[in-house]
Amino acid sequence: MAVRTPVYLDHHATTPMDPAVLEVLQRVQKDHFGNPASQGHSFGWAAQTLVENARHQVAQLVGAEDREIIFTSGATEANNLVLLGGAATSGKPCKIISTTLEHSSIAEPLTRLQEQGWDVVRIQSDLDGLIQPEDIEACLNDDQDHEVLMVSVIAAQNEIGTLQPLEQIGKLCRRRGVLFHSDAAQACGHVPIDAQAMNLDLVSISSHKIYGPKGVGALMVKRTHPPLPLAPLFFGGGQENGLRPGTLNVPGISAFGEACRLALKNRDEEVLRLRQLKDRFWHRLQEQLPGVYLNGAAEPRLPGNLNIRFDGIRSAQLLPRVSVLALSTGAACRSDEPGPSPVLMSLGLDSNQADSSVRIGLGRFTSQEDVDFAAERLIGAVEKLRQE
């Protein structure tokens, strides 16, 4: 089968919309333009029905109740709502425990809170890019200065793909009565996320990471009595339990729901296929290139993730030589920031090693032919650069 170029291998930045999801988006945009808050006529009722159906589909993906799903513009908004909305209800600076592996939509609000007097502790990962539960436990036990408000740990690291031990950390948080949040934007739909089994109180979810449209996501807020301490970031309506005002994006939400349904339906099969493709890619590189290394633990890892470095080759030199491949040097959210990736540096890599790293993200529509073509092009480009 002929390979269509360019070959897209940047699925951690975003994913193409699944055709079935696009069909839902277009149909709802065309046929169901009503406002779900308009409860006096059939247009509003139809829109509300679509929203609630999508709410159920999102809830199913993360093992939650339908009423625990709050729709947002994406995981970035959900993360900010958790941290800044949670802090707004505390009445005083407290402690938040997080990690050095977080996405910037967690890291930057934490820096803002730190500037306001909050005690922010960032747990360092080990050299494999994994957080050790005992480090979280030690920090939970050391709360003499500030009460611990929350623990926030990314589910799947967006550059190196390592999966964090949420279930073990959740047990620690539950025993201490501390809120547990996870930014699961990269994980949901690709690996199992079960809020109940993992003792998660808050989960951030993104549509465009699971073949849905951009501009929509969700925050799972565990239903408790009294409700979890969370304040809205902005105001102007009572939508989404008062936490996210504004007219709901019904087409986007409906398409997001369909993306969640497909992800849950196909997840096990897709995990197996992507792992096989990833292993094929990695083995070909290892067999034909000396001095190629994997950044982060081989397992547990997102099934379609490879983050690799090539001795003596800077990624800024390599990527223009393989422009037929859509690759990245790291997180899309910090692509305009100079310097090596802080996540890679936290693994013990020096700046040269971090600058020689490339992130490869395989996805639902990646074929074996795509993988073989990409491996051949990368091998050829690295060999030529080493000869120059």
Catalytic residue numbers read 333
Q: Is 194 helix (H, G, I), strand (E, B) or coil?
A: coil
CB 149 within 8 A of CB 86: yes
384 vs 378: CA distance, rounded Å: 10
Residues 50 and 168: their CA atoms lie apart, in Å, by 36
Burial class (CB in 10 A: 0-12, 13-18, 19+), 327: buried
Q: Give CA 1 to chain center in angstroms.
A: 32
In angstroms, the CA 278 to CA 304 distance is: 6
Residues 6+ apart with CB under 8 A from 314: 352, 355, 356
Is residue 259 within 8 Å of 210, Cβ to Cβ?
Answer: yes
How open is the CA angle 327-333-336, to the nearest 5 degrees? 80
Q: How far is CA 3 from the centre of its chain?
A: 29
Query: Looking up tokens 């493709």, which residue turns up?
Result: 277
**Cβ neighbours around 340 below 10 Å, total:** 19
- Supply 82's token pair: 């958790």
The number of residues in the chain equals 388
CA 275 to chain centre: 18
Beta strands in 145-184, from DSSP E residues, in sequence order:
148-152, 179-183
Start-to-end Cα distance in the chain: 33
**Cα 14 from Cα 28, distance rounded (Å):** 23
Question: Concatenated DSSP letters for 305-337?
Answer: EEEEEETT--HHHHHHHTTTEE-BSS-GGGTTS
